Amino acid sequence: MEGSPTRDFFLGLFVLAGLMALAYMSFSIGGLQYKGTGGLAVFATFDQIAGLKPKAPVEIAGVKVGLVKSIRLDDTYRARVDLDLDKELKLPVDSSAAIVTAGILGDRYIQLTPGAEETYLKAGEQISYTESALVMERLIGKFLVNVQDKSQSKTEQPKADNP
Amino acid sequence: MISRLGRWAGGVLEELGRVAVFAGRIVTVTFRPPLRAREFLDELFKAGVLSLLIICVSGLAVGMVLGLQGYNTLVRFGAANSLGAVVGLSLIREMGPVLTALLVTGRAGSAITAEIGAMKATEQLDGLRMMAVDPIDYVIRPKAWAMLVAMPLLSAMFIVTGIVGGYFVGVGLMGIDGGTFVSSLQNAVDFHDDVAGSILKSVIFGTLVGLISTYRGYTATPTSAGVSAATTSTVVLASVLVLIFDYFITALWGV
């Protein structure tokens, strides 16, 4: 077996397959970018981000166009979300950003809706129109309060009518 | 009682010191020419290529069982679409590096100890010394380095075959959408948080297993019983240390 061509062939194959597995793991699954971070950096502020996390995807019409770079609190106690978008993306200045949920309990992501203006956002500018995340607990709370109010105003009604 | 404990602790410290000196000797001869590339490639063949089959079969089996178990658990919460994330994250962060290290310990680590131990028992190491060849340079170094290089490659292959197995069960048998599986996998796994940690783990495990198996062989009692005891102790010690190190790597670096 000492240095036979067959052994060398299999060894080469092994190393190649191992490196390919590493590369697949890093680039395809892990999403390692080799082009560097030179994207379009814009930001948006929200009243409530409710579980949006850095690296969450940013989508337009369901197509991923970038990701959330960082999230912090600004001076007015609103959440400032920095986005890293594709460099080629031309985003009108009156575009809006909304935090939405994939499915009822899924991950949060940002959905951009392009506006109609002819001028485009430049790096470092703000997406001014935003729509905050819906907080499930708050919705349920409002719903329960409404139900309670109704049931109190109609005390004559039998209880079975209430959901 | 107390003095026995003290003696035991002293013995452990002494052993640790010997291992450290041994590791130091491997490191000091590492870049000393001749580099013995031929021997290194031989060892890489033994540790890597010959472990390939067991790694791929185990990876596939583990991935398939993860797919099945994950599906059965997730479907209760209506979250079966996250199966890709569950399979991928558990393979990359834990299963891949740890199970690969355990399998390679049994498959190649024991063989290394037995080989070096037998060389010692038949006085081949002394023969090398007689010819002014340092056995650490000629015998130990290629084996330890081959283990260190083979481990991340094998672990990566374990993970990829495991993901294929999970995909097969989730998409092929359970009927999850293939695109959903892959996108949940890609969204959940991050290079810096998960993949880099996985590679770091397998490199540390490779160092550990390589060091223990060569050290145990090198210090084996030169008898048949001594070689067999050394081989057993390699498998036991390396497996336990891999699991303990795994906990501390995860706790310290969160991978």
pLDDT digits (tens, 9 = 90+) for A126-139: 888 888 877 777 77
| Residues of B with Cβ-Cβ distance to A25 under 8 angstroms | 92, 156, 159-160, 195, 198
Exposure string for A114-131, b = 16+ CB within 10 A, e = fewer: ebeeeeebeeeeebeebe
The interface pTM score, or ipTM, of the predicted complex is 0.77
pLDDT of residue B237: 93
Nearest CA in chain A to B48: A14
User: Which residues are paired to A42 by β-bridges?
Assistant: A83
Question: Measured between CB atoms, does A9 come within 8 Å of chain B?
Answer: no
The alpha carbon of residue A158 is apart from the nearest alpha carbon of chain B, in Å, by 35
Is A18 close to B159, i.e. CB distance below 8 A? Answer: no
% of residues, chain B, pLDDT over 70: 100
Is B189 close to A31, i.e. CB distance below 8 A? Answer: yes
Is B163 close to A22, i.e. CB distance below 8 A? Answer: no
Is A160 a residue whose pLDDT tops 60?
Answer: no
pLDDT of residue B37: 83
Question: Measured between CB atoms, does A59 come within 8 Å of chain B?
Answer: no
Is B48 close to A11, i.e. CB distance below 8 A? Answer: yes
Is B48 close to A107, i.e. CB distance below 8 A? Answer: no
Residue of B38, B104, B191 to mutate, testing the A interface (most A Cβ within 10 Å of its Cβ): B191
- Mean pLDDT, residues B61-86 taken together: 90
User: Across the interface, which of A25, A31, A32 has its CB nearest the CB of B156?
Assistant: A25
Amino acid at the residue B1: M
| Residues of A with Cβ-Cβ distance to B153 under 8 angstroms | 14-15, 17-19, 21-22
Question: Measured between CB atoms, does A31 come within 8 Å of chain B?
Answer: yes
Q: For B199-217, write each residue's pLDDT tens digit.
A: 999 999 999 999 999 999 9
Can you give the three-state secondary structure of chain A, one letter per residue? CCCCHHHHHHHHHHHHHHHHHHHHHHHHHCCCCCCCCCCEEEEEEECCCCCCCCCCEEEECCEEEEEEEEEEECCCCCEEEEEEECCCCCCECCCEEEEEECCCCCCEEEEEECCCCCCECCCCCEECEEECCCCHHHHHHHHHHHHHHHHHHCCCCCHHHCC
* Residues from B in contact with A at Cβ < 8 Å: 38, 41-42, 44-45, 48-49, 52, 79, 81, 88, 92, 152-154, 156-157, 159-160, 163, 185-187, 189-191, 194-195, 198-199
Band of pLDDT at residue A1, cut at 50, 70 and 90? very low
% of residues, chain B, pLDDT over 90: 64
User: Across the interface, which of A15, A26, A31 has its CB nearest the CB of B153?
Assistant: A15
pLDDT of residue A37: 55
Q: For B133-151, write each residue's pLDDT tens digit.
A: 888 888 999 999 999 999 9
